Amino acid sequence: MNHPENERPLIVMPTYNEATTIPVAVERVRRLMPQADILVVDDASPDGTGTIADKLAADDDHVQVLHRAGKMGLGTAYVAGFRWGLERGYQVLVEMDADGSHRPEDLPKLLAVLDAYPDAAVVLGSRWISGGRTENWAPTRQLISRTGNTFVHAVLGLPVGDATGGFRAYRSAAIASLDLGDIASQGYCFQVDILWRLHQQGARIIETPIVFVERESGESKMTGAIVREALINVTVWGAKHRAAQLRELGRTGVKACEGRLRSLRRR
């Protein structure tokens, strides 16, 4: 049975050199979530990932491909995918890696939690809360992820255990409320950027545990430049946030003093 687009989740899968993993990822998602649509956003992968995705789309009307001119970063790939989904009226937008690190078996749970909390803007698949875990991940990568999340929590005060994970289900209305053109984060910092913007709006953010599995083939996209981007951006956002808090505290203090003076004059 076919469902209208606004009743089906759209799973956005950015790809760059995922020729060996994209067929498996798409097949597993389609088998476990036959009602879902998949949008592969390919950045002109030199290994032919885009061509493979086109063949998958030709055989399955639940699979679409968005080709980009070159490698422009994970963040802009998701923004392009979100815009594509919003233009077509999808009500739920899902972020999911195409390299096998995000298990399709966890996807129904993310969507079920989002459905259970109508006021939630996003459900995060979390590695670092009770019940979540990683498999076959190098200790150094675990340390980087845990340290990064600790830093984000300390600087920004985001009330989540895993602000950097990329397995998420958003309500389209929450994404539509953001100025996507203002999002400049290129790498994994994009994940923090989106959450920070939603948190500042007072949006409800929910986490559910997942199992994150280290990719068996291909190369990680994590680089020193991506880590530096995240450190710099989070630090700048935190400084601006603290400055705004101090300004508000100052205004509140001034108003309190003025009110006290007026009260004394009336006596």
What is the per-residue pLDDT for 230?
A: 60
What is the per-residue pLDDT for 3?
A: 44
What is the per-residue pLDDT for 235?
A: 73
Q: Which residues pair with 122 in a beta bridge?
A: 170, 205
Q: Which residue numbers in the chain have pLDDT < 50? A: 1-4, 254
Residue 163 phi/psi, 5-degree rounding, is: -85, -10
Give the pLDDT confidence of 20-43 residue by residue, as tens digits. 999 999 999 999 999 999 999 999
The pair of three-digit structure tokens given for residue 99, joined into one six-digit string: 């390299």
Check if the beta carbon of residue 45 is closer than 8 Å to that of residue 20. no
d(CA 148, CA 165): 11
What is the per-residue pLDDT for 122?
A: 98
In the chain the domains, ranked by start, together with CATH numbers, are 5-238 (3.90.550.10)
Check if the beta carbon of residue 218 is closer than 8 Å to that of residue 176. no
Give the pLDDT confidence of 78-103 residue by residue, as tens digits. 999 999 999 999 999 999 999 999 99
